[in-house]
Structure 1
């Protein structure tokens, strides 16, 4: 990760991430640990798009899926008992969330390209909700 990426990451972490993190914690109903492999979330030619694509690809789907899961007491309890950490990374440039989203041993993993299909938030919400419902 070069200087441009480091600057962008620092700015995102200071300006956008706190609000997104707060919304995720609110939706979950408890404090959640994040493990974000920031250095994997870059392709140099797309740096100018990340402030828009990161929320759409990683954070908004989590918020909406958590809202769906915690709509009742059973879902709130299941999520609180099972979820230990959210891991965000990009190891294989998945653009299909069905291939990149998983939940195992208390870790929700979003392994997705930081740019591909950014505007298709709804499909990521559906896949993530299904992954959680099937594993909680």
Structure 2
């Protein structure tokens, strides 16, 4: 039979394990910073992506996944979201849509873009491993604010995936 002391210890361990393994939640600072970014800077990024695609492709950003707890003070820095995710994506779409054939292929097969960050599956630097294209949805799973200088590698990964699937 389990003693009361052992039962309490087991309950404490179970509580600690659940708490330690739980996904981090966004605090007020992160939610405010995301709201400010979405209002002040994201519209220009979304427009650049859509202009590069040649049509108003829906851009869905999973902000609650893309935001990193504790990094709210960096969200307005162009290196955080823009140079690591939005600008390489726009550059790749511009490259694909550089001619009529590319623009028509994008319009015919690209139905939406989903941007997110899953710490467990996002690649550190092999950016192609963070991309999928299925059912017309380009899914981008990259860590923001990491390897900022790798813009060309990100552009190349998106371009290669789209060229293969369009």
Structure number, greater radius of gyration: 2
Count of residues in correspondence between the two structures:
136
Q: Which residue of 1 aligns with 2:38?
A: 13
**Partner Cα separation in structure 1 for residue 29 and residue 122 of structure 2:** 21
TM-score scaled to structure 1, two decimals? 0.93
1:1-43 per-position Cα deviation (integer Å, ceiling 9, x unaligned): 1111111111110111111111111111111112211011133
**Does residue 86 of structure 2 align to residue 59 of structure 1?**
yes
Residue 68 of structure 1: which of 78, 86, 95 is its match?
Answer: 95
TM-score scaled to structure 2, two decimals? 0.77
1:40-99 per-position Cα deviation (integer Å, ceiling 9, x unaligned): 113334333333220112110111011110111110100000011100011134223121
Q: Is the 8 A contact 1:50 1:114 kept in 2?
A: no
Higher relative contact order (CA 8 A, sep 6+): 1
Structure 2 gap ranges (5+): 1-25
State the superposition RMSD in angstroms.
1.3
Structure 1 gap ranges (5+): none
